[in-house]
Structure 1
Amino acid sequence: MIFLMMSVLSLLLWGNRSLVLENAALRQQLAVLQRSAGRPRLKPADRRFWASLSKHCSEWKESLVLVQSATVIGWQRASFRVFWRWKSGPGKDRPQVSPELRQLIRQMSSANRLWGAPRIQAELAKLGIDVARSTVAKYMVRHRKGKPTAGPFWATFLRTHLRQTAAIDFLTVATANFRILYLFVVLSLGRRRILHINVTAHPTAQWTAQ
């Protein structure tokens, strides 16, 4: 495996990048076959090789012979989890949520039935309270769904006001080098068009309000 990686690095300096990566993929699988009797057995180093190659070579699936592409994607996700578990380290668990904060979240969600976890998280940030959205969602009051009151149903309301309605979402994206980027998107539901998009590695309340 060390010889293979040295060969790849030397070829990358002097040759065509795509051709070098494809050649490395075929060489790696040949090395597995040469040391295996019967069904090929891939070592952890083999899995790491393919997890990395799938991030840097767009045509990696065409060079794959020994396993399915879905298997490699699974290895990639597993390596991502291992990396962040290692980065978190022992003793770096999430801080305990105090009973007072739990009660405050319940009161805010009970008094404002239309507020979701993102809105409550933003309101808490204004008070100087830094709490994860998943934590807010965990302690919110679950309102029971009763019979609809007089007036239009939600489906009718949305159809009527679709052109004036926008959807807002926060999501995270993992990069090839295991960085986490935070994405804020505003989407027009009527036109299915992105109205606003912003990306940052360090989200703040001020960044969200922009």
Structure 2
Amino acid sequence: MILLTVRAVVMACRGHREVVLENIALRQQLGALKRTTKRPRLRTRDRLFWIVLANGWRHWCTALVFVQPETVLRWHHDWLRRRWTRRSTPTSGGRPPISREIRALIREMATANPLWGAPGIHGELAKLGVEVSERTVSRLFHPRHRPPSQGWRTFLTNHLAAVVSMDFFTVPTVTGRVLFVLVLLSHRRRRIVHFNIAEHPTARWAAQQVVEAFPHNTAPRWLLRDRDSIYGDAFRRRVAQMAIAEIVCSPASPWQNPYAERVIGSIRRECLDYVIVFGEAHLRRLLSAYVAYYHRSRTHLGLGKDTPDGRPMQPASAGEIIAVPEVGGLHHRYERRAA
């Protein structure tokens, strides 16, 4: 402030009294504003004003109040850098950009095929007519840093012949009794290898059903089940004695036992939802009839529209088409028979 006063006195002596007084008044107000506002918000045009002023006035530093001279110099350098960046950026030419669809396809391939590398993905893209370099694929492809873990569906598919799943479901009777039905399903041909009914099943009873389902060293390699409390110590010991490894689903994850859940749903939707069960003997007859229909007549999408037991295709010359009732008339099997 002393320096400003001295400069004002000098200017007053030179005959610029009005300008000096106005300058003093403005600077006093700026000083008060600076004390109340630490850092005002400057706009782009404010910065440009000081950049131009710094290039045309030698004593521009003496008029600064809100910022330091280094700040104005930094503004100038930033402006020059942006200006030359815009000029040096090519507006045309170069490699064409990779479309969003191709980027998504590369990531999808990398996720679905963790054993592939960039060359494998590039080769697959070449077979699809996608023109992209292997270098670009490797740039967009993020390899895994740990060995890939196969998905649950992949595991089940690779071990269909050696996996059997089991599960319980309940059936109420006309008198209010609740019967428990145990189903053991082979994944290879979706065959129901065994079922049984009990009103009060136990771990020993469940273990005995596994023994009856696989006699004479026909036990599978893996047994897939949920975490029901009925699979107690007696069950686990008996299964281990048969050299069967148990695969236990995660808690509250029925989707990890899809084949057993699906066959139970089919039994309900295609049979039990349309009948009133009178008792255990009645339920056993119903399930026996449905299992026979399920194995011999019912086609499965997962088996290529075939049946678990295999159903040959009949030529048109085999005769007329007739309907054979199944499961008490709930379903029918259609065959060609000679007249």
Range into which the TM-score falls when normalised by the shorter chain: under 0.3
**TM-score, length basis structure 2:** 0.17
If you compute each CA radius of gyration, which structure gives the higher value, 1 or 2?
2
**TM-score, length basis structure 1:** 0.26
Structure scoring higher RCO (CA < 8 A, sep ≥ 6) equals 1
